[in-house]
Amino acid sequence: MAKLKSKKKISRRKFLQGTGAALAVATAAPGVGAQNTATDAIPRTAIRVTVNGTQRRIEVEDRWTLVELLRDHFGLTGTKIGCDRGECGACTVLLDGKPIYSCSNLAVWADGRSVQTVEGLTQNGRLDALQQSFIEHDGPQCGFCTSGQLMSAKGLLIRNPRPTADEIRAGMTGNLCRCSNYNHYVEAVLAAAKGGSR
Amino acid sequence: MRQQQNTSIAPLKTVGHATPRIDAIERVTGKATYTNDIRLPGMLYARILRSPHPHARIRRIDVSKALALPGVKTILTHENCQVVWGAGGISGGLQYNDDIKKITKHRRYVFNNPVRFVGDPVAAVAAVNRHVADEALGLIQVDYEVLSFILEPEEALKPDAVKIWPEGNLSLNAQNQAQPMSTRRGNIEEGFRTSDLVFEDRYTTAFVHNAQMEPRSCVANWDGDKLTLYTPTQGISNCRSDTARDLGIPPEKVQIICQYMGGGFGNKNQNQDADLITAMLAKEAGAPVKLEFTRKDDFIGVHGRWPTVQYYKVGVSRDGVLKGIQLRGYSGMGGYRKNTGTIGGIDIYQCPHIDSVVYPVYTNKTVSGNFRGPEYPQGFYGIESMMDDVAYKLKMDPVEFILKNMTRKSRDEVPYTNYSLEECIRRGAETFEWKKRWRPQPGSDPGPVKRGAGVAFMAFRSALGRSNAVIRLDAKGHYTVFVGVTDVGAGAKTTMAMIAAEALGVPVSKIEVVWGDTDRCPYSVGESGSRTTIQTGYAVVQAAEALKRQIAEKGLPTGDNVLIGSASPNPTLEGKVRAAFGAHFVEVQVDTELGHVRVLKYLAVHDSGRIMNPLTARSQIKGGATMGIGMALHENLLYDRRNGQPLTAGFYGARLMTHRDAPEIEVIFIESDDGYGPYGAKSIGESSKVPAVAAVANAVFNAIGRRMKDLPITRDKILGALA
């Protein structure tokens, strides 16, 4: 892996400003209204869920999946839907610290629990070591699976901070990458684990 | 990681240095905006109802119940929407244009009657949310007259086969003639007459889907008579002209926006039926509409690689010199012909007598079209398996056979701009330790777990062509590059910034790239044919030169002034052919009791000219090779022969490569600068998949001593061959 010049590194201030703006827009968007059902008979449940450290209260339709809640109603579109049926891992988020497919979990099941998405990986404007390492190793090609790969890797490092390459492959095997940049993803996670989390 | 090893070319300041993508932060923070992340005020959600039958005539569609569902706004069917989808088929694989549109007999509409495959769109619903749209699909009543169907191209050409089109099942060309595609050189009979030995065999390849991670989606918005489409397209420029032509509106009234897209590998080039359907729904509804494909929609409603049947007859002298190659090929195009259906590969051999006839045939399977080197991975699998087999039958080392018979001039006649195939093969064989890993006696390892090595090589087009670029310099010293590229994942945006930085002699950080919006960017070739870097990159170099001339003439801009350099080059090659070259070496281990194949070692050696960005170029090679392993060993969209239903329409069923399947891919670039393209860049993206399938298949043969002639080489087939 070529060493990167320091100027290629991420300006964290620039990044933080960007994220703040994006979230503000998402919150202002008519998200909840946009998906209102046409029929009144759809059962709804009020839930309380912590998303990226912030507690949110919302009345959800019982049929909403967690990814639908995150993307359409909280404006957290970093989490992607690749298959919507538990096959690809693009929608992986952490639920109480464990990676799950958010397309295969109902939003109501998140009641009283804590969800972390890719938007919550940065802490105090600093990129997570995994994010930095993904950039340096050119993990994302098209980038569509990347959020899921990141969250899966994050979950893996929480339970196994020093995984071997084989453990990484096993831990992330539920995250498909059709650009097939698997080598680079594994290298990136290995390097991030060696560097320790920042 | 292996580092760049050579080079005989002079180093440059920016180009050639590993550079992270300029939009990398967006890609790792979830900020990158993909089409489905777009939401417009008052936007409706759309879903598509697809044919459940492989072949049927629609007698009647009743949408009244669906329309009565609260929240449903608009429903389109073949009765109220007759838009021809030009890029969807009909043109014999040629670019669709007005002349062809006028004469063609095989017009593909966005909604067709009869429907010709399971997944052919029947209706589209726009509603206030996706749940209502979904519910409405179930309320549409369609009365089908079910017709008999046919799945395999050879069977479809039999006289008693059901006709999918009135003119029969051999696809018409752009002149409405039902003729196969023929290539001839020399006299094939003479070739076989002068051969000492003649071998014949049959190879087949399966339908494999592009299966890009991002399912197709589209957001359409009309502002008066101006249409804005947010859509994942590999070519914003061709998507705009296609859409304008299909909808009968001027191109300047269509704006195509594609900022980020989640892969395509060929199935997002040009415009898509999704674009036209969404535009029509939005027009009818008088509101913005977002169409979302489900993953199953994407698998059966969007094209994949055409399956083939390949009959080869090969004549050689006793000392292993090719005398004649004959191919009779059949390509399954699905219900519409979206691409040529050719079968590539013969041209990489030096041979005086060649006779290739390929039949593009309609079937009632999902439509076939572009997928990473459209006609090559399947064709190279066939011809390179065939030649590998011939080498063993002559008791020759396959590497020696290749060195003796590989192309040295394009079609034995036109010289290449540079030629490094021999170096790719020799260097690869040495690095891979071919002599150590290859078994002179195939299948000779003792015990049930056997190892073997295989090799395949390739030459892939790196043609020049027209494109545009505009570069603006302001008084603060900021350069803005306007290029009509999209970034399908290969890193075009970063590559353009690097090329501009190199040409202007400034750091990449001074360059901003404006891309992916037809209202802001000039025409660019689509991200197809692995030519964005070559063509648009060259335009960027020329625009930079134009800007430098302006600066020399007028001095640097001051105040609010700007200087602009632009270029629209259309370079040509005279009397030469440009090609990227490469060779892949693979070692596999086959468990002959379980039929399981594991790739132990994989080396890819490529000459893609000068490498613009080794970081992203390496990703492209690794990705293509890994995809090729999947195609060789397990990917398949299987159909039930009894009812024509696709059985594996999803990631899991189609068996894509996963983290656990993917071996380490070792990459070596042999760099060159032939004086063309930007700093000598040649094609990369598609070429890495081209030889991969054949190399894996040949390694399996070396391990088990049985030639696997039908893709994919699944466990059952291996166990069957060994039984």
The owner of tokens 């166990």 is B719
| 3-state SS class at B203 | strand
Size of interface A-B (CB pairs under 8 A): 221
Segments making up each domain of chain B, as ranges: 35-147+217-292, 375-383+396-462+577-722, 464-567
- CA-to-CA separations, A43 to A62, B200, B398, B644, in angstroms, rounded: 6, 66, 67, 39
Tokens read off for B76:
């389109």
* A1 contacts: CB under 8 Å, gap ≥ 6: A136, A137, A187, A191, B1, B18
Could you say which residues from 495 to 534 on chain B have a Cβ atom under 8 Å away from some Cβ of chain A?
Answer: 507, 509
**Whose CA is closest to B534, among B501, B573, B505?**
B573
Return the number of other C-beta atoms located less than 10 Å from residue B287's C-beta: 20
Sort out which chain B residues have CB atoms less than 8 A from A138's CB and list them.
Answer: 20-21, 615-616, 618-619
Taken in order B677, B678, B683, B688, the sign of the CA dihedral is: positive
Could you say which residues from 139 to 198 on chain B have a Cβ atom under 8 Å away from some Cβ of chain A?
Answer: none
Residues B61, B64, B68, CA angle at the centre, nearest 5°? 150
* Nearest residue in B to A85, CA atom: B295
pLDDT digit string, tens, across residues B588-602 = 999 999 999 999 999
pLDDT digit string, tens, across residues B28-46 = 999 999 999 999 999 999 9
User: Taking residues B688-704, what's their average pLDDT?
Assistant: 98
* 8 Å CB contact between B473 and B694: no
| 3-state SS class at B496 | helix
Do the Cβ atoms of B20 and A4 come within 8 Å? yes
Q: With an 8 Å Cβ cutoff, is B598 touching chain A?
A: no
CA distance B437 to B414: 36
CA distance B470 to B547: 9
**Whose CA is closest to B10, among B690, B501, B679, B713?**
B679
pLDDT digit string, tens, across residues B600-615 = 999 999 999 999 999 9
* 8 Å CB contact between B479 and B486: no
**Whose CA is closest to B270, among B300, B307, B232, B306?**
B232
CA distance B237 to B515: 11
pLDDT tops 90 at residue B223:
yes
- Banded pLDDT at B526 (limits 50, 70, 90): confident
Instruction: Indicate the pTM of the whole model.
Output: 0.94
pLDDT digit string, tens, across residues B156-175 = 999 999 999 999 999 988 88
Percent of chain B with pLDDT over 70: 98
CA distance B76 to B58: 14
Q: With an 8 Å Cβ cutoff, is A90 touching chain B?
A: yes
Tokens read off for B447:
């015990």
Do the Cβ atoms of B623 and A122 come within 8 Å? no
**Whose CA is closest to A172, among A197, A154, A153, A189?**
A153
* 8 Å CB contact between B604 and B667: yes
Sort out which chain A residues have CB atoms less than 8 A from B73's CB and list them.
Answer: none
* DSSP-assigned beta bridge partners for residue A45: A60
Residue A159, φ and ψ in degrees, nearest 5: -90, -15
Peptide linkage before A99 cis (omega within 30 of 0): no
* A10 contacts: CB under 8 Å, gap ≥ 6: A127, A132, A135, B24, B25
Q: How far is A120 from chain B (nearest CA, A)?
A: 9
Do the Cβ atoms of A170 and B213 come within 8 Å? no
- Strands (E) in A19-158, as ranges, are 44-51, 54-61, 92-95, 98-101, 114-116
Could you say which residues from 96 to 115 on chain A have a Cβ atom under 8 Å away from some Cβ of chain B?
Answer: none
Do the Cβ atoms of B21 and A85 come within 8 Å? no
Do the Cβ atoms of A38 and B29 come within 8 Å? no
Q: With an 8 Å Cβ cutoff, is B597 touching chain A?
A: no
Sort out which chain B residues have CB atoms less than 8 A from A122's CB and list them.
Answer: 29
Query: Fold match between B35-147+217-292 and B464-567?
Result: no
CA distance B567 to B534: 14
* B490 contacts: CB under 8 Å, gap ≥ 6: A141, B527, B532, B616, B620, B684, B685
**Whose CA is closest to B618, among A132, A136, A190, A8?**
A136
What is the DSSP annotation of B76-132? EETTT---B-GGGS-STTSPP-HHHHHH-S---BSS-SSB-STT-EEEEEEESSHHH
Measured between CB atoms, which of B263, B491, B658 is closest to A144?
Answer: B263
Q: What is the per-residue pLDDT for A39?
A: 52
Sort out which chain A residues have CB atoms less than 8 A from B26's CB and list them.
Answer: 143
CATH superfamily of B35-147+217-292: Aldehyde oxidase/xanthine dehydrogenase, a/b hammerhead (3.90.1170.50)
- CA-to-CA separations, A18 to A13, A110, A121, B31, B313, in angstroms, rounded: 9, 28, 14, 8, 62
Interface test with B, best of A80, A179, A184, A185 (most B CBs within 10 A): A179
Pairing of β B121-127 and β B72-77:
antiparallel
Q: With an 8 Å Cβ cutoff, is B615 touching chain A?
A: yes
| CATH architecture, domain B375-383+396-462+577-722 | 2-Layer Sandwich (3.30)
Could you say which residues from 446 to 475 on chain B have a Cβ atom under 8 Å away from some Cβ of chain A?
Answer: none
Tokens read off for B616:
């992203």
Query: pLDDT tens, position by position, for chain A (198 residues)?
Result: 344 344 434 443 443 343 333 333 333 333 434 444 445 678 999 999 999 999 999 999 999 999 999 999 999 999 999 999 999 999 999 999 999 999 999 999 999 999 999 999 999 889 999 999 999 999 999 999 999 999 999 999 999 999 999 999 999 999 999 999 999 999 999 999 988 544
- Count Cβ atoms within 10 A of the Cβ of residue B559 and give its class: 0-12 exposed, 13-18 middle, 19 or more buried: exposed
CA distance B273 to B297: 12
User: Taking residues B680-690, what's their average pLDDT?
Assistant: 97
Continuous H helices in B273-375 = 273-285, 295-301
* Nearest residue in B to A63, CA atom: B131
Strand arrangement, sheet containing B254-257: B72-77, B121-127, B44-50, B289-292, B217-223, B226-230, B254-257
Q: With an 8 Å Cβ cutoff, is A164 touching chain B?
A: no
pLDDT digit string, tens, across residues B534-578 = 999 999 999 999 999 999 999 999 999 999 999 999 999 989 999
pLDDT tops 90 at residue B376:
yes
CA distance B578 to B423: 17
CATH code at A122-195: 1.10.150.120
Which DSSP symbol is given to A3?
P
Do the Cβ atoms of A182 and B507 come within 8 Å? no
* 8 Å CB contact between B281 and B81: no
Do the Cβ atoms of B618 and A138 come within 8 Å? yes
* 8 Å CB contact between B588 and B598: yes
User: Taking residues B437-447, what's their average pLDDT?
Assistant: 97
- Banded pLDDT at B90 (limits 50, 70, 90): low
Q: What is the per-residue pLDDT for A40?
A: 62
* 8 Å CB contact between B44 and B287: yes
CATH code at B464-567: 3.30.365.10
